[in-house]
Chains A and B, each alone.
Chain A
Amino acid sequence: MITAESKPIDEIIEYIRPYRRIILAGCNECVTVCSAGGRKEVGILSSALQMAFMKSGRNLEVKEITLERQCDPEYVEELAPIMDQAEAVVSMACGCGVQEVARRFKHTPVFPAVNTKFMGASERQGVWAERCQGCGECVLAVTGGICPIARCSKRLLNGPCGGSTNGKCEINPETDCAWQLIWDRLKALGLEDRYEEIMEAKDWRTSRDGGPRRIIKEDLA
């Protein structure tokens, strides 16, 4: 899923300082799962913003709403009937949701309330970690199901650098060395020999380097 973290409240206050009426829009998908922008977080942020405004002697009207998916026009449309009640939208969705709201409502400013982080998985309660960079051409079949592009700090495709120590990355003892994980997995699968097959220079066109990407599914489009 896509993970996100709340922005500092002072930053959000700074964005909405000129306004008195806002829509605070959560999203029921990824940001709900990672507790950054679901219904619960909408309620908490709404109270916090109103209190902050009150402290400075101003009133802030907040219309709270949590959409099923902010990255989907069908659900974003649900904002249309209430849009005239607001001078601005604060979106608690990931960057995709923020942009979809901005695209639909051309005359209303939209501000992000979270920093979108990465595509990841939950390691344990309350901890998420990066797993995929969306390079567009998956290499997991040859790396034992562990992605060196997302999980090696240098996205090295052919093995660990000289900074791998006790299974950890040189940048930080909290970060696993992806190549240690890959090696352990190849061993467990009896595929150590595969390590010496060179992974050729990657074609990054399928990644962000090829420009903004689209998928067109002919049978649906």
Chain B
Amino acid sequence: MKKFFILLVALGVPVIGICGSTPAYTENITAENGSNFLILAAADSDADSKETIVAEDDFTDDELLFLDEDEEFLDVYDPLEPINRGIFWFNDKLYFYLLKPVAKGYRWVMPEPLMLGIGNFFSNLASPMRMINAGLQGKFGDAGNELTRFAVNTTIGIGGFFDTAKDHFNLKKKDEDSGQTLGYYGIGPGPYLVLPFFGPSSFRDGVGLLADSRMDLTYYLWEDRDYWAAIALRTVNTVALDKDTYEGIKRDALDPYLFIRDAWTQYRKNLVDN
């Protein structure tokens, strides 16, 4: 799933918008008082195997409420849903009719180690972005870790093609970005936003995305058409390495738009909280 999200926010995009401070999620700890009954104990002669999981000494509904203690449930703020759904539809077509076929051909000609190397290469170029954002959040240990990773991978890892820092020094990448930094300083995500080409985001994370692109060395290594070619390569490479995450969601979810919106919101909240 992460790879999918990385793909969708892989690049920076100019977003005109003001960061809303409205919380896109609210704490909603429900503690309902239901009546006591054993739901599946109802007489059912042709009970199938599923129902055998309900034993006589099962917890009742009320007793199961302890599972909800210390839980936060999301309530996503999505006032732009009609527009978002339109853009979601556009991105979906873009994915299936352009990105996916290209990625399939790409995967067919490219050996996997080479694809992993290209992924590492672009990830290494984004290292300063992670370092700056870790620093801005006062995580100086993480910032130092990222600096070491960048130094090691750029030199021993041959320009970032190998993640030597992870493979040989156990220095693992920790995802940081400007959206998380804004969140760290108490700025809520604001309304949920689906960006054309870039996928799920929020007002806050959209602004973050723009800032991120300016801290990414990719932006300074190439200009104009070359820059977008590099971005296209990075995107196709990510899709080629992905194990059909989006297809899985499309296949399984009752409403893929809602599933991705809620998953994205949780994913971002979790990153900000850590």
**A associates with B:** no
Interfacial residues, chain B to chain A (CB-CB below 8 A): none
